[in-house]
Copies of this chain bind each other. A is one copy, B any other.
């Protein structure tokens, strides 16, 4: 089957490649962690998102091949349809739509309690990014543990699951850190950038009831400013108003 891969360390090496089709009993990243007996899920890829991390990997600024090989299959923003599940998978069945998480657990206390997203280790094992092959291929296998079921009604948004999880976590961590203040009830947020992360963060901060300003360079109206505005945020072009002037104009809530 086909896959899109790079040769880590070699700039602009992105290429189409023939790789073996996966089977349910494969162990795609046994060098990090094994899929327990009966817990594997085979997924047919429907969509894969591409972001700045992918661009950096292709520019050889980041990323390593899994041990024993020269290439790295890229793609970490996954969305697909379940084709087959192991005997011990009860939470998913063929036909279900899923996104698959990126980082696999290492050895730190965070990894051991299921918070491999905040590992304290310096080496990350991330599918499509570092030391594990990614999802930009026709099919892939992984542990049901790392599959996130996407409701069919959200099929058109499923590929945004991974970037959305990044925003949700960042906002959640900010609120958790501010528990140190005993009381903290923010009223206004400034989002720097209107790429997918900026727009998803805008949406989530609006859902928290904040007055949101989304800042990017290009003067609107354009697609991004329209999306920010549709969420109820105020889009600001930093070419038209500096951050300093904006802060001065809107003041404290």
A interface with B by C-beta (< 8 Å):
109-110, 113, 115, 118, 122, 173, 176-183, 185, 252
Contacts and interface: CB of A to CB of B under 8 A. Distances in A.
A170 to B, nearest CB: 11
Contacts of A185: 109
A115 B182 contact: yes
Question: How many copies altogether?
Answer: 2
Contact of A183 (B109, B173, B177): B109
A252 B176 CA distance: 26
Contact of A179 (B110, B176, B252): B176
A109 B185 CA distance: 10
Nearest to A112: B183
20 contacts: A109-B183, A109-B185, A110-B181, A110-B182, A110-B183, A113-B182, A113-B183, A115-B181, A115-B182, A118-B181, A122-B252, A173-B180, A176-B179, A176-B180, A177-B177, A177-B178, A177-B179, A177-B180, A179-B179, A179-B180
A240 to B, nearest CB: 27
A49 B177 CA distance: 33
Given A176-B180, A179-B180, 12 more contacts: A109-B183, A110-B181, A110-B182, A110-B183, A113-B183, A115-B181, A118-B181, A173-B180, A176-B179, A177-B178, A177-B180, A179-B179
Contacts of A110: 181-183
Nearest to A180: B176
Interface centre among A113, A118, A178, A181 (most CB of B within 10 A): A181
Contacts of A176: 179-180
Contacts of A173: 180
Contacts of A252: 122
A62 to B, nearest CB: 22
A174 to B, nearest CB: 9
A224 to B, nearest CB: 30
Contacts of A180: 173, 176-177, 179
